[in-house]
């Protein structure tokens, strides 16, 4: 198993001394390590800073993206590029200049699953599968180049499953609802504050992701400050994960956990594909394991091929 696969190793009452050492030294060492790596990255690669990281306006249709708020349909302001039937809802101009516009989109995903020996023989054999249905609808409102509102509903249904896993069913709720404000309005430099419920995804999604695999995606409530300047992209996070509940509009932030940190990306012009370092830690207290009171903890670090240098530190804590 790779380093990415390690996590949530139970440590029960017979290992109290080991737990105490981890509890006292882990976060401090993690912060120190990540700070050293970040400083080294800044000193080494700031000399090679290149163009700013603003996403250019596409010249034509692009593939749909996992994070739907990353899609840009402003190119449809040119009537000559409106060639598809649905272009009329992907770009709805709200003023004569076209700087204010509304974009509407959605997703339907149907998936049938069947497991054999799902509970390792603890339950009677069941050869029946179940159907997972995902429905999502979003609107993206741009009021000029500095203000934006994004709103997305989600519905995850499970049919034929006797025991529904938490991330597989959520009848109807708000998946995302946030406001973006460009604080400086500079074409060469961006400082964007995002406030509200939002999806997060970094690198190859092994640590921080929108949970695309299960039926119901993961979102976070909080703040995100994105800074783009001289080839660098910095993200400062202060959020709480949103708990997935099965009813109607009953999802709420988990007030026992906070998710915060820093993630930095810098393009390296002399390397087409470079590796970056990402570090995180997760601590959850007072969990039950094999009828014993335990502490579950996980931490990981690794390298990712991303065509840019990624350095960051993200902490997920329970208290």
Write down the domain spans for the chain: 3-59+138-150+164-318
Please indicate whether residue 293 or residue 45 has the higher confidence score (pLDDT): 293
pLDDT digits (tens, 9 = 90+) for 86-102: 999 999 999 999 899 99
CA distance 281 to 318: 11
Which neighbouring-strand residues pair with 138?
Answer: 105, 152
pTM: predicted TM-score of the whole model, two decimal places: 0.71
**Long-range contact list for 222-225, CB < 8 A, 24+ apart?**
222/198, 222/253, 222/259, 223/193, 223/194, 223/195, 224/193, 224/194, 224/198, 224/200, 225/191, 225/192, 225/193, 225/194
pLDDT surpasses 90 at 313: no
φ, ψ dihedrals at 85, nearest 5°? -65, -35
Per-residue confidence (pLDDT) for residue 127, from 0 to 100 = 66
Q: HSE (CB half, 13 Å, CA atoms) of 116?
A: 1
276's tokens = 């970056």
So what's the pLDDT on residue 273? 45
Residues 6 or more apart in contact with residue 45 via CB below 8 angstroms:
266, 268, 309
Q: What is the pLDDT of residues 244-267, one digit of tens each?
A: 999 999 999 999 999 999 998 887
- The two beta strands, 9-11 and 170-182, are unpaired
pLDDT of residue 140: 98
> Could you tell me if 214 and 167 are in contact, meaning their C-beta atoms sit under 8 angstroms apart?
yes
Q: Are 136 and 157 within 8 A, CB to CB? A: no
The string of pLDDT tens digits covering residues 141-155 is 999 989 999 999 999
């Amino acid at each position: 198993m790779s380093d990415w696969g390690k996590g949530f190793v139970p440590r029960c009452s017979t290992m109290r001394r080991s737990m105490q050492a981890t509890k006292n030294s882990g976060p401090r060492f993690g912060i120190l390590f990540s700070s050293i790596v970040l400083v080294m990255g800044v000193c080494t690669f700031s000399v090679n800073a290149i163009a700013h990281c603003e996403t250019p306006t596409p010249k034509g249709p692009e593939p749909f993206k996992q994070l739907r708020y990353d899609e840009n349909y402003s190119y449809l302001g040119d009537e000559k590029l409106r060639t598809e039937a649905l272009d009329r809802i992907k770009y709805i101009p709200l003023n004569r200049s076209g700087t204010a516009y509304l974009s509407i989109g959605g997703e339907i995903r149907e998936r049938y699953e069947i497991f054999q020996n799902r509970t390792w023989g603890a339950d009677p054999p069941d050869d029946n599968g179940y159907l997972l249905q995902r429905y999502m609808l979003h609107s993206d409102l741009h009021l000029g180049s500095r203000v934006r509102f994004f709103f997305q509903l989600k519905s995850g249904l499970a049919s034929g499953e006797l025991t529904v896993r938490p991330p597989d069913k959520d009848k109807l709720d708000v998946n995302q609802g946030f406001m973006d404000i460009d604080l400086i309005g500079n074409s060469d430099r961006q400082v964007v504050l995002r406030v509200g419920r939002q999806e997060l995804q970094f690198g190859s999604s092994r640590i921080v992701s929108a949970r695309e695999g299960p039926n119901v995606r993961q979102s976070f409530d909080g703040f995100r400050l994105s800074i783009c300047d001289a080839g660098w992209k910095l993200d400062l996070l202060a959020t709480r994960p949103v708990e997935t509940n099965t009813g109607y509009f009953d999802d709420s932030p988990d007030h026992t956990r906070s998710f915060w940190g820093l993630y930095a990306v810098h393009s390296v012009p002399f390397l087409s594909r470079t590796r970056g370092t990402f570090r995180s830690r997760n601590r959850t207290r007072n969990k039950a394991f094999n009828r014993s009171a335990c502490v579950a903890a996980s931490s990981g670090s690794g390298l990712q091929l991303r065509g840019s240098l990624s350095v960051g530190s993200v902490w997920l804590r329970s208290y």
